[in-house]
Structure 1
């Protein structure tokens, strides 16, 4: 098997010098002529770059760009870089400013005081996550990160990985030859098992595990739906609103019950909850009970959704990219050999790692994020008053043809050492950057790598759907109706 190679480009071009896009990214006509595209053009010099701001076309009276964001947000969002590096989008009477350039985004992400966690997405996410580390404002972040950082120390990864491998084996042991499976459900089952085993000293029973997976999926679907819903409609007793409220309450009841009965880590192994309990006893600056619960819910939900997304899309791509998949199977045979992958195998799973890196480029679990401006500031020549809302999308950046040649093409070879250096700086941001970069990045990628290597070591996958696989409208990017069939290899 040989991976297809392409030509990578380096550097982020000046906005006025961009070439017309190639591939399938739906940029509008007029991309070459900024005079015709930037109706409200403003520029700002930053180092060697000139950043431009503009306004997206196609806003409808009263509702703005809401129809595009409801029906097919990914096509709409990937059209925005043609309008500028900072593009104004209307959602009803509100406006948000979409950051479409990696250099400009880096300015935003490293200045988390000015560009604070907030805006519609995180305001809704806090309904589920509370003030956990992923969603808390700048004023609380540094203290909380210091207290929970020990749980993600690299020295703990071998212990976590052992539990990850056990959970992967537990799920696969129930599979049978020629079995059809829902790939997202399988990925959620693996991710939920890993989350419970690494976070809690006690396992959840099978019924609670299944209910928890369901609650997480309902909550993530509800966050995105409520992101686009007027506040008044959120309070109506519709079936969707009642289901969301029940799922959110059930998640917190489950976590509260676990925290209440938490004891010491098993066999000298400290799970994440034990570490947080220790942080709660760290004097007057330690975690309060509410903060502890919020951290557990945040890590639990974020860990499940990010791993499930990456793994489900990777399984889909195994069935779609047959030539590359043959190399994946060969690597699993050589390194894992029919058993379950272990922490010690990770350095030799090179193609598996690059396969996942490219999967997350095309399908980043967190595909859109918002920030709120805390004080008047200028960005890309535009004055942003305090309270303004910014948004950015790894999905958009990862599919820009001037940053990633032939962006719609799945190409793990992009991440070979001699080609990865050509990826423009700050262009690959599936886990964010700056002070708020995801604390669980290594934790997530370790789970996904072990799971993908274990599955391809024992099972060959084929499609069982017969229809195009598209993303579901959720706060996390997941495939809708992804049905696969398992064929035993070992």
Structure 2
């Protein structure tokens, strides 16, 4: 018998207030067992709470699931990119996109990451108050935009991405969580979202058309997508398929990294010993020169800091729908059953992360990290649906942290505590910090 959680998990409205109480909610579900029946509006849903079942849903039995109802709400806006595509088409697209994130390509993108971070910090002035979440958003857009669209033609696209992408991600979540009729109402959030989507579609398709006509590999992500061929048929992606993948990379790549970096600087400012260790490692490894891809192996403590932020501030839930009968923890789910996996829930399970609200990068010391069960750390999902750009995001976060920490400290402004705004993830709002030169 599956325990039934009290109440229901409603769409929109109370959903956002529920997100604010997510820690208590997921802790309550954990106390009821590994799999708990809750309701997403009128829809019965199975919430899995243990790393063991999370790993089963995402990896072991991943082929028995497809994306759930919440993801389907995004399809009209994100198209059929890797986040939403299914089955044979998803496997085909992933094979074609994957080379864009091979090690030699990441090494090339690393130069863009370091240069963009250095250009940002070159605009800072000693004692200046920065809105850190805005800086990190602008930086993430620049990095992903230049990695996607190198050369002069890409500058117009990057400017439009900077203008539109956060309207698409934030307002798109509101639309996905709303009843269908709400999307057709002339509300400001709908008008803003529709205008941003139309602008983005126009500029990206224009760049795709011009780049396809040139037929040259410029070493960027877009060239990889345009020149990729299916290994079986030899076919290339259509312009619409390329557009869907570009929009997926933009929305997923910008938001995740911007949020992680903003929280990194917040946590380091709150934990002086961790900040001291970051500075000591950066000074030793870089010795005053710019960071490079080859330095990643020597920046072990910075990797731990980034992983601890990814643990503490992940997305709240992922959804899957069973396409075949599957036995989850002794409960046989029929085809069509909706399942919720909560990265936040497993990342804050005290059985695996003692004092889970505490920021502790040493959780990721090799011996402690190796002791974690499969499914206990899933910031980028898992299995064949794991985010294809996860190595890109980690590389960007570590190299940006190294570049900033080599020259600057970010100090909280007294009397201005950071506020947190929840959608499916925790957004810092009003993260005001003073830029202080080191030394």
Counterpart among 310, 314, 327 of residue 378 in structure 1: 327
Residue 363 of structure 1 corresponds to: 313
Please report how far the alpha carbon of residue 345 of structure 1 lies from its aligned counterpart in structure 2 after TM superposition: 1.6
Counterpart among 79, 89, 93 of residue 144 in structure 1: 93
The answer to whether the 8 Å contact 1:85/1:101 transfers is yes
Residue 151 of structure 2 corresponds to: 202
Unpaired stretches in structure 2, ≥5 consecutive residues: none
TM-score (ref. length: structure 2): 0.91
Q: Deviations over 1:191-232 (max 9, x none)?
A: 111111111123578786455234222222223323432111
Residue 11 of structure 1 corresponds to: none
Please report how far the alpha carbon of residue 276 of structure 1 lies from its aligned counterpart in structure 2 after TM superposition: 0.9
Correspondence 1:169-180 to 2 at 5 A: 169-180=118-129
Counterpart among 47, 56, 69 of residue 18 in structure 2: 69
Residue 340 (str. 1) matches residue 310 (str. 2): no
Residue 404 of structure 1 corresponds to: 353
Please report how far the alpha carbon of residue 398 of structure 1 lies from its aligned counterpart in structure 2 after TM superposition: 0.5
Residue 243 of structure 2 corresponds to: 293
Please report how far the alpha carbon of residue 367 of structure 1 lies from its aligned counterpart in structure 2 after TM superposition: 3.3
**Which has a greater percent of helix?**
2
SS at match of 1:54: coil
- Cα–Cα, structure 1 residues 466 and 91, in superposed 2: closer, same or farther, change >3 Å? farther
Once residues 419 and 318 of structure 1 are traced to their aligned partners in structure 2, the CA distance between those partners, rounded to angstroms, is 21
SS at match of 2:406: helix
Once residues 405 and 455 of structure 1 are traced to their aligned partners in structure 2, the CA distance between those partners, rounded to angstroms, is 30
Correspondence 1:5-404 to 2 at 5 A: 42=1, 53-59=2-8, 66=15, 68-69=17-18, 72-110=21-59, 111-120=61-70, 122-203=71-152, 209=158, 211-262=160-211, 270-279=219-228, 285-364=235-314, 366-404=315-353
SS at match of 1:143: helix
The answer to whether the 8 Å contact 1:354/1:413 transfers is yes
* Larger mean Cα displacement after TM superposition, 443-452 or 367-376: 367-376
* Larger mean Cα displacement after TM superposition, 153-162 or 451-460: 153-162
- Cα–Cα, structure 1 residues 106 and 96, in superposed 2: closer, same or farther, change >3 Å? same
Unpaired stretches in structure 1, ≥5 consecutive residues: 1-41, 43-52
Once residues 450 and 62 of structure 1 are traced to their aligned partners in structure 2, the CA distance between those partners, rounded to angstroms, is 38
Count of residue pairs brought into register by the alignment: 436
- Cα–Cα, structure 1 residues 60 and 80, in superposed 2: closer, same or farther, change >3 Å? closer
TM-score (ref. length: structure 1): 0.82
Q: Deviations over 1:438-486 (max 9, x none)?
A: 2111111000000001101110110126344343223444222211111
Please report how far the alpha carbon of residue 380 of structure 1 lies from its aligned counterpart in structure 2 after TM superposition: 2.8
Task: Give me the CA root mean square deviation.
Answer: 2.6
Residue 399 of structure 2 corresponds to: 450
Please report how far the alpha carbon of residue 427 of structure 1 lies from its aligned counterpart in structure 2 after TM superposition: 0.7
The answer to whether the 8 Å contact 1:368/1:393 transfers is yes
Q: Deviations over 1:289-321 (max 9, x none)?
A: 211111111112211111111111101111111
Please report how far the alpha carbon of residue 280 of structure 1 lies from its aligned counterpart in structure 2 after TM superposition: 5.5
Residue 411 of structure 2 corresponds to: 462
- Cα–Cα, structure 1 residues 260 and 269, in superposed 2: closer, same or farther, change >3 Å? closer
SS at match of 1:438: coil
The answer to whether the 8 Å contact 2:81/2:241 transfers is yes
Once residues 371 and 394 of structure 2 are traced to their aligned partners in structure 1, the CA distance between those partners, rounded to angstroms, is 22
Please report how far the alpha carbon of residue 95 of structure 1 lies from its aligned counterpart in structure 2 after TM superposition: 2.6
Once residues 353 and 124 of structure 1 are traced to their aligned partners in structure 2, the CA distance between those partners, rounded to angstroms, is 34
- Cα–Cα, structure 1 residues 363 and 84, in superposed 2: closer, same or farther, change >3 Å? same
Once residues 46 and 82 of structure 2 are traced to their aligned partners in structure 1, the CA distance between those partners, rounded to angstroms, is 24
Once residues 245 and 112 of structure 1 are traced to their aligned partners in structure 2, the CA distance between those partners, rounded to angstroms, is 34
The answer to whether the 8 Å contact 2:305/2:361 transfers is yes
* Larger mean Cα displacement after TM superposition, 426-435 or 474-483: 474-483
